[in-house]
Chains A and B, each alone.
Chain A
Amino acid sequence: MSQADPAQPTEQPVYDENGVDLSLVRKMLRLTPEERLRYMQEFVEDILETWQHNGTRPLR
Chain B
Amino acid sequence: MARARFVETLRVLVNADVEFIVVGMTAGVLQGAPVTTLDVDVVHRRTPENVARLLKALDELRAVYRGDPQQLSPTEFHLAGPGHQLLETVNGDLDCLGSIGEGKSYEQLLESCVDIELSGGLRVRVLDLRTLIELKKQAARPKDLAALPHLEATLKEIEKGR
A residues apposed to B, CB below 8 Å:
16, 18-22, 24-29, 31, 33-34, 36-38, 40-41, 43-45, 48, 51-52, 58, 60
Q: Which residue of chain A has its CB nearest to the CB of B124?
A: A33
Q: How many Å lie between the Cα of A51 and that of B153 in the bound state?
A: 30
Q: How far is the CA of A5 from the CA of B135 in the complex (A)?
A: 40
CA distance A51 to B38 in the complex (A): 13
Give every chain A residue within 8 A of B5 (Cβ-Cβ).
41
> Cβ of B153 and Cβ of A37 under 8 Å apart?
no
Residues on the B chain within 8 Å of A41, using CB: 4-7
> B6's contact among A24, A28, A40, by CB below 8 Å, is which?
A40
Question: What residues on B are CB-neighbors of A37 within 8 Å?
Answer: 6-7, 26, 29-30, 118
Which residues of A are found within 8 Å of B26, using beta-carbon distances? 37
A interface majority secondary structure: helix
Counting residue pairs across A and B whose Cβ atoms lie within 8 Å, the total is: 80
Interface size of B by Cβ–Cβ distance < 8 Å?
34
B34, CB-defined interface residue at 8 Å: yes
Q: In the complex the two chains form, is B118's CB within 8 Å of A34's CB?
A: yes
Closest residue to A36 on the B side, CB-wise?
B29
